[in-house]
Amino acid sequence: MVSNFLFGNKSISFIGCGVQSFFFLTLGGAEALLLTSMAYACYIAICFPLHYSSRMSKRVCVLMIIGSWIMGFVNYCTHTTYAFHVCYCQSGAINHFFCDVPAMLTLACTDTWVYEYTVFMSTILFLMLPFLGIACSYGRVVLAVYHMHSAEGRKKVYSTCSTHLTVVTFYYVPFFTLIYIQDPSDLQQRTRFWLSSTPS
In this predicted model, what pLDDT tens digit does every residue of 55-106 receive, in sequence order?
Answer: 889 999 999 999 999 998 888 888 878 877 777 776 666 656 567 777 777 7
Residues facing 11 on adjacent strands: 194
In 96-124, which positions are buried (b, 16+ CB within 10 angstroms) versus exposed (e)? Answer: bebbbbebbbebeeeebeebeeebeebee
Task: Provide the Cα torsion 156, 158, 163, 165; round to 10°.
Answer: 140
Give percent of the chain with pLDDT exceeding 90: 20
* CA proximity to 83, closest of 22, 23, 29: 22
Domain count of the fold of the chain: 1
| Domain range enclosing 70 | 10-181
Nearest in space to 21 (alpha carbons), one of 107, 110, 81, 86: 81
Q: Specify the DSSP class assigned to residue 188.
A: G
pLDDT of 198 over the 50 cut: no
Predicted confidence (pLDDT) per residue in 133-186, tens digit = 999 999 999 898 888 888 887 888 888 888 888 999 898 887 766 654 544 444
- Does residue 98 sit within a domain? yes
- 113: CATH: 1.20.1070.10
Examine residue 199 and state whether it is found in any structural domain, yes or no.
Answer: no
Distance of CA 112 to the CA centre of its chain: 22
pLDDT at 85: 79
Domain assignment of residue 145, yes or no? yes
Report pTM.
0.77
In a domain, 81, yes or no: yes
190 located within any domain: no
Measured over the CA atoms of residue 76, residue 7, residue 190 and residue 92, the dihedral's sign is negative
Return d(Cα 102, Cα 94) in angstroms, integer.
10
